[in-house]
């Protein structure tokens, strides 16, 4: 999809459609007022018929509006101006794009960057509109021919002609495009079936990005490399699979040489059967999404390369399949991690933390400023927080606050849970330094407590995205979260330049 920001005379522009907003109780937005004035009150007259109330998601298509050169005007409900939020604005844009698609409209002018909102500046509205439009345009590659996106060219109307405002709007467009592309990259990787998106495939895609971007270097460690590093925890998970494990390392060098990097670690279990602790059969197909942490980290690397952020970032993706086999790990087995700590595997379906702990130990070699791991780690997080925020735990409150702020700014929110020593006793083992599970109680917290034992030298945060990484039911598919949050966090580390 081609998206641009333009200062356009709405009354004279020749376009298949102009999109303008209507607030609750049929109150006109700024652009709708302008269109109404040039059509001699025609829009107000149509609104009096009651075909649209102004509630979020309402749409009304008007044809051949007098006084305008546009073929159509699409009115879209924006709800109460005082209630406009990041999430609601995305809904407004998504409703607009869906209505344009249904009408088979290929090109349009969207004039929705003038909505009254204290939390959302016009530039922020441009960014969110761009992200939402790209999200709406995504089609899974294997099904794209059966459900093509019609809308392919959008001009976002921006009325402020001041140089500083125009500069902000162009930056907003750039950010929106970068995050949208990164998020759709993550969605595509997440949606691919397990027989295609294997650890080898994931490594190949990461290597391709290394060739695409000049500041990105990708290295792939194979099983023998991991054996030399004594990654016994990670390798124990892949023992039951015929597909070899991979440790993918993507190094983005946008900052000064020698500057310590930020490190992102993404869980890459390309299919999780549960291993010997086999999962129930119902909805097991969704376990192809167990690599969405890896997908989001790779997607974030796409976003920061598109933005050319002036910092150094490393992405580490431990990638395996977790399958049942005669060689697979068994409950009760004891393995030795890269850190030298021993782990009693009480449940082979708690495998994500086993691959993450070795990846976190490996991250120490980069002497990172901060490390964030991202994982579809626990069903307990879904029960605790549902499908709205990611779970956040950290050993550094300043880092946690920065991530929470990035989530609020991007609309890709997280919620902090406690990482107290009180929970550590649940991981006690009679036979090893620790067990890999801590029982039913506080499962998300004890999983993070497990990881914390491998991050004592690091400023570290853990994002449990089990509830937000994909949608089930009729809308089944990867969400691409938390690419917006991670990208925002990294933009925030670059100073005020990326502030809207």
Tokens 């081609």 belong to 2
C-alpha span between 404 and 97 (Å, rounded): 30
Q: Which two tokens stand for residue 164?
A: 């500083």
Grouped pLDDT means (10 residues each) for the chain, 500 residues? 95 97 95 96 94 94 97 97 93 96 96 89 96 96 82 95 94 98 98 98 98 98 98 98 98 97 98 97 96 98 98 98 97 98 98 98 98 98 97 98 98 98 98 97 98 98 98 94 98 92
- Rounded to two decimals, what is the model's pTM? 0.96
Contacts of 93 (CB under 8 A, 6+ apart): 110, 112, 128, 129, 132, 133, 136
CB atoms within 10 A of CB 468: 28
Q: Which two tokens stand for residue 208?
A: 């391709």
C-alpha span between 377 and 374 (Å, rounded): 8
Of residues 26, 90, 353, 413, which has the active-site annotation?
A: 353
> In the annotation, is 224 catalytic?
no
SS3 313: strand
**Residue 149's pLDDT is what?**
81
- The answer to whether the CB of 213 falls within 8 A of the CB of 305 is yes
**Structurally, what CATH architecture does the domain formed by 192-494 represent?**
3-Layer(aba) Sandwich (3.40)
Tell me the CATH number for domain 2-173.
3.40.220.10
Of residues 27, 80, 215, 279, which has the active-site annotation?
A: 279
**Residue 144's pLDDT is what?**
76
Q: Which two tokens stand for residue 388?
A: 């709205």
Tokens 């000049």 belong to 214
C-alpha distances out from residue 92 to 117, 416, 448, 489, Å: 14, 29, 37, 25
CATH 3.40.220.10 maps onto the chain at 2-173
CATH 3.40.630.10 maps onto the chain at 192-494
User: What's 187's DSSP letter?
Assistant: H
> In the annotation, is 242 catalytic?
no
C-alpha span between 18 and 456 (Å, rounded): 55
| Phi, psi torsion values for 435, nearest 5 degrees | -95, 160
- CA count, 13 A, side-chain hemisphere, 437: 18
C-alpha span between 399 and 391 (Å, rounded): 14
């Amino acid at each position: 999809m081609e998206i641009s920001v333009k200062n356009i005379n709405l009354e004279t522009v020749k376009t298949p459609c102009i999109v303008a907003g209507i607030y609750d109780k049929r109150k006109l937005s700024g652009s709708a007022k302008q269109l109404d004035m040039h059509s001699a009150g025609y829009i107000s007259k149509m609104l009096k018929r009651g075909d649209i109330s102004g509630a979020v998601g309402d749409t009304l298509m008007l044809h051949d509006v007098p006084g305008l050169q546009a073929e159509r005007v699409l009115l879209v409900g924006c709800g109460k101006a005082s209630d406009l939020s990041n999430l609601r604005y995305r809904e407004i844009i998504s409703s607009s794009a869906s209505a344009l698609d249904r009408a088979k409209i290929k090109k349009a002018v969207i004039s929705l960057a003038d909505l009254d909102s204290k939390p959302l500046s016009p530039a922020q509205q441009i960014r969110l509109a761009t992200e939402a439009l790209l999200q709406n345009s995504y089609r899974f590659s294997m099904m794209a021919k059966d459900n093509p996106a019609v809308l392919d060219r959008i001009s976002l109307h921006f009325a402020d002609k001041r140089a500083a405002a125009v500069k902000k709007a162009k930056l907003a467009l750039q950010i929106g495009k970068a995050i949208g592309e990164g998020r759709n990259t993550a969605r595509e990787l997440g949606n691919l079936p397990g027989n295609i998106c294997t650890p080898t495939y994931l490594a190949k895609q990461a290597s391709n990005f290394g060739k695409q971007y000049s500041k990105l270097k990708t290295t792939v460690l194979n099983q023998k490399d991991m054996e030399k590093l004594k990654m016994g925890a990670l390798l124990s998970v892949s023992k039951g699979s015929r597909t070899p494990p991979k440790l993918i390392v993507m190094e983005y060098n946008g900052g000064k040489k020698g500057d310590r990097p930020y490190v992102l670690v993404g869980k890459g279990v390309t299919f999780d059967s549960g291993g010997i602790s086999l999962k129930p059969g119902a909805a097991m197909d969704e376990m192809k999404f167990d690599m969405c942490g890896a997908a989001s980290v790779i997607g974030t690397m796409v976003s920061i390369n598109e933005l050319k952020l002036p910092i150094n970032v490393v992405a580490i993706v431990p990638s395996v399949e977790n399958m049942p086999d005669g060689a697979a790990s068994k409950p009760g087995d004891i393995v030795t991690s890269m850190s030298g700590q021993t782990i009693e595997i009480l449940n082979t379906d708690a495998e994500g933390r086993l691959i993450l702990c070795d990846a976190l130990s490996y991250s120490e070699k980069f002497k990172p400023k901060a490390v964030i791991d991202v994982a579809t780690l626990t069903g307990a997080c879904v029960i605790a927080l549902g499908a709205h925020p990611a779970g956040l735990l950290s050993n550094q409150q300043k880092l946690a606050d920065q991530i929470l702020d990035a989530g609020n700014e991007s609309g890709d929110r997280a919620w902090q849970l406690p990482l107290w020593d009180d929970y550590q006793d649940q991981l006690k083992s009679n036979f090893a330094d620790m067990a890999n599970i801590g029982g039913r109680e506080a499962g998300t917290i004890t999983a993070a407590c497990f990881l914390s034992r491998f991050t004592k030298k690091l400023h570290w945060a853990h994002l449990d995205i089990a509830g937000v990484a994909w949608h089930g039911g009729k809308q089944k598919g990867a969400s691409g979260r938390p690419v917006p949050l991670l990208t925002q966090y990294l933009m925030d580390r670059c100073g005020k330049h990326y502030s809207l």
